[in-house]
Amino acid sequence: MAANGASCEQPQKRAGAKDKQNGRSTDLSIRERRQKDKEERLSLVLWRRPVITLRYFLLETLIKLKEWTFKLWQRRGTVSLFLVLCSASYLAYYTEGTHQQYVQYLEKKFLWCAYWVGLGILSSVGLGTGLHTFLLYLGPHIASVTLAAYECGSTDFPEPPYPDQIICPQDEVDGNISLFSIMSKVRLEACMWGAGTAIGELPPYFMARAARQSGADPDDEDYEEFEEMLEQAEGAQDFVTRAKLGVQHMVQKVGFFGILACASIPNPLFDLAGITCGHFLVPFWTFFGATLIGKAIIKMHIQKLFVIITFSKHIVEQMVLLIGSVPKVGPALQKPFSQYLEAQRNKLHHYITICLYEDN
C-alpha cells in the first residue's frame, strides 16, 4: 500500500514540476511578446517609417472621429443645448446695448480665472516636471496684496489698475485689516490655481487607466516604476519606496478620503496616487472630486494662510530687525532691504500723489 502511494505521488510531483515549467515558459513568452510589441511601437516614427506611420495615424483618426460622432449623436440633446448657448453668447457679445458692461465684466473675470487655471495646470502637469508657478506667480501676488493691504489700510484697491497694479484707494479708510479680509481678496485667484493643479493631475490617471483596460504597458517610466514597486512590495526597505507604498495603500484602501488626504497637503508623490487610481480603475469623479476639493479648497487655504502670515506687517518689521541683528553683515543687509520696502510703500501711494498734484 505504501509503495502504491509513493508511486502515485511521483507522477503528481512530475506533473506539478511540468506545470511550473509550462507556466514559466508562458510568462517568458508573454514578456517577450510584450517587449517585441513595445519595440515595434517605438519604431513607428515619422522619420523611420513615414508611410506606415501616416497610414496608422489616418486610420486611428477615422476610428476616433467615428466614435466621437456616435457619442455626440447619443447626446444630441446636450449638444443642441450647448450650440444654443454658444449662439446666444455670440449674439450678446457682438450686439450693442446696455448689457455690454456685464458682458465686459464677465469677459474680464473669465480671462482672469483662465490665466490662473492655466498656471495651475503648468505647475502640476508633467509628472513632477512642471513649472513651479506658485513660487513664481501666485505666492508673490498674495504677498504683494498682503503688504499693500497693511500699508493702505484697505483691500478696496481701485479697478483698474488692479490687479495689474496695486494702488491705495484715494478715499478715507478705517485701517482695520483682518486676516480673513486679505484671504477673501485673493480667494478667487488661489482657488482657480488650485483647480488648475487638480486638472494637471489627470494625465497620469488616464494613462494608467487606459493601460489597465487595454492590457498594454504604456511607454512611461513612472508607470514602469509603479509596476516594479507592486512586484517588489514585500521586500521594500528604503524610505522612499515605503512612502510610495504608503500612498498606494492609502488610496487603494481608504478611497475618496485617502485621495483627499493626499491632495490636501504638499505631496510630491501625488502623481503616484493618480497612477494608482487609474491602475485600480477608481471612478473618475471619485478621483477628480477628491483631488479638486483637496487642492483647490483645503491645500490652497493652507498655502494662502502661510504666505499671508509670513508677509504680515508685524512679521516683516520683526524680520527687518532680525536682519539688522546679524553680526557684521546685518546692518549692511538691513539698509537696502528697508529702502526696498520704503520704495514699495511710495509706489502704493503713487496714485494719491498724482491726484493731489492734479487738484493743485
pLDDT at residue number 339? 77
Confidence grade of residue 216 (pLDDT, cut at 50, 70, 90)? low
Confidence grade of residue 349 (pLDDT, cut at 50, 70, 90)? low
* More confident: 257 or 16: 257
SS3 content of the chain, % helix, strand, coil (to 5): 75, 0, 25
Residue with cell 493631475: 201
Over residues 325-345, mean pLDDT:
75
pLDDT at residue number 354? 39
With vertex at residue 199, the alpha carbon angle to CA 310 and CA 38, rounded to the nearest 5 degrees, is 125
Ordered DSSP codes for 24-77: HHHHHHHHHHHHHHHHHHHH--TTTSHHHHHHHHHHHHHHHHHHHHHHHHHTHH
Cis peptide bond N-terminal to 160, omega within 30:
yes
Over residues 230-248, mean pLDDT:
60
pLDDT at residue number 45? 78
Helix (H) or strand (E) holding 316: helix 313-324
Over residues 214-235, mean pLDDT:
57
Cis peptide bond N-terminal to 204, omega within 30:
no
With vertex at residue 55, the alpha carbon angle to CA 50 and CA 61, rounded to the nearest 5 degrees, is 125
What's the whole-number average pLDDT of the chain?
A: 77
Helix (H) or strand (E) holding 248: helix 239-254
Q: How far is CA 118 from the centre of its chain?
A: 10
pLDDT at residue number 136? 85
Q: Is 281 helix (H, G, I), strand (E, B) or coil?
A: coil
Could you read off the pLDDT of 252-310 as tens digits, one per residue? 677 788 888 888 877 666 777 787 788 778 888 988 999 999 999 999 998 888 888 87
200 in Cβ contact with 119 (< 8 Å): no
Q: How far is CA 244 from the centre of its chain?
A: 19
pLDDT at residue number 356? 33
- Please give the Cα distance from 125 to 24 (Å, whole number): 39
HSE at residue 305, side-chain half, CA atoms within 13 A, is: 7
Query: Over 80: is that where the pLDDT of 146 sits?
Result: yes
- Please give the Cα distance from 290 to 303 (Å, whole number): 18
pLDDT at residue number 190? 92
Cell for 249? 495603500
Could you read off the pLDDT of 62-115 as tens digits, one per residue? 998 999 999 999 999 999 999 999 999 899 888 888 888 898 889 999 999 999
Could you read off the pLDDT of 177-208 as tens digits, one per residue? 888 888 899 999 999 999 999 998 888 888 88
Question: In terms of C-beta distances under 8 Å and separation of at least 24 residues, what long-range contacts does 228-234 make, across chains too?
Answer: none
Nearest residue to 275 via CA among 197, 196, 194, 211: 211
- Number of helices and strands (H, E) in the chain? 18, 0
For the chain, give the longest Cα–Cα distance. Answer: 122
> How many CB atoms are located within 10 Å of the residue 159 CB?
9
Q: Is 216 helix (H, G, I), strand (E, B) or coil?
A: coil
pLDDT at residue number 33? 78
- Please give the Cα distance from 124 to 196 (Å, whole number): 8
